[in-house]
Amino acid sequence: MTKSYVSSFLFLIIFVLIETAILSQIAIIPAMPDLVLLCSIYFAVNNGSVPGEITGFGSGLLVDFLSGSPFGLNCLVRTVIGYAAGFLKRMLNLKSFLVTFLLGFTGTILKALLIGLTSFFFPNMINTYNIFSMVFLCELLENSLLCPFMFKFLDCFSSFLILTDKY
């Protein structure tokens, strides 16, 4: 169990660094794909709600440290997404392109809705998504299309990342 959490956090750190050091420097794409969100969804769907919320919180903490958003915003959003995605454990065929595409699509929509809901309570502190803007639509498309490939890539390391049930 500890091996899975440590491996998950190492992967999250790697993908946070890829997002902040490499993808943020590419000027030709209007929005940056959220690889850390996709990793959190992968961990949650494969391991369940509690591990999903733990890795969601950890990924949110990493993103909060490296972003300009109010501290705790990404922790809250990704914890909720991780917990919700964990309910889908063993219910979906994760080998299907369409299913993983829809997981990326739904996770991105849920992220935008949760940030919008949080901004209702803190209107001057949080930048929200305009769901009809080109930036959001590009991020939605990027996350949706990258999700199946991220799941395939992370499946290569499933022995380290997926908890095994002992009962």
Residue 37, in any domain of the structure: yes
Instruction: Among 22-26, 33-37, 138-142, name the one with the lowest average pLDDT.
Output: 22-26
Q: Give the residue with greater pLDDT, 151 vs 70.
A: 151
**Domain that residue 149 falls in:** 2-161
Phi, psi of 157 (to 5 degrees): -115, 25
**Percent of the chain whose predicted confidence (pLDDT) is above 70:** 97
Distance between CA atoms of residues 117 and 111, nearest Å = 10
pLDDT in tens, 105-148: 999 999 999 988 888 887 777 777 778 888 899 999 999 999 99
Q: What's the total number of domains in the chain?
A: 1
Residue 12, in any domain of the structure: yes
Contacts of 96 (CB under 8 A, 6+ apart): none
Q: Give the residue with greater pLDDT, 135 vs 67.
A: 135
- The model carries a pTM of 0.90
pLDDT in tens, 36-45: 999 999 999 9
Residue 31, in any domain of the structure: yes
Residue 167, in any domain of the structure: no
Distance between CA atoms of residues 77 and 133, nearest Å = 21
**For residue 149, pLDDT beyond 90:** yes
Instruction: Among 46-55, 60-69, 139-148, name the one with the lowest average pLDDT.
Output: 60-69
pLDDT given for residue 166 in this prediction: 45
Categorise residue 90: left if φ over 0, alpha if ψ from -120 to 50, beta otherwise. Answer: left
Using an 8 Å Cβ cutoff, are 9 and 36 in contact?
Answer: no
pLDDT given for residue 38 in this prediction: 95
Domain of 63, CATH number, reads 1.10.1760.20
Using an 8 Å Cβ cutoff, are 45 and 89 in contact?
Answer: yes
Residue 14, in any domain of the structure: yes
pLDDT given for residue 167 in this prediction: 36
Residue 166, in any domain of the structure: no
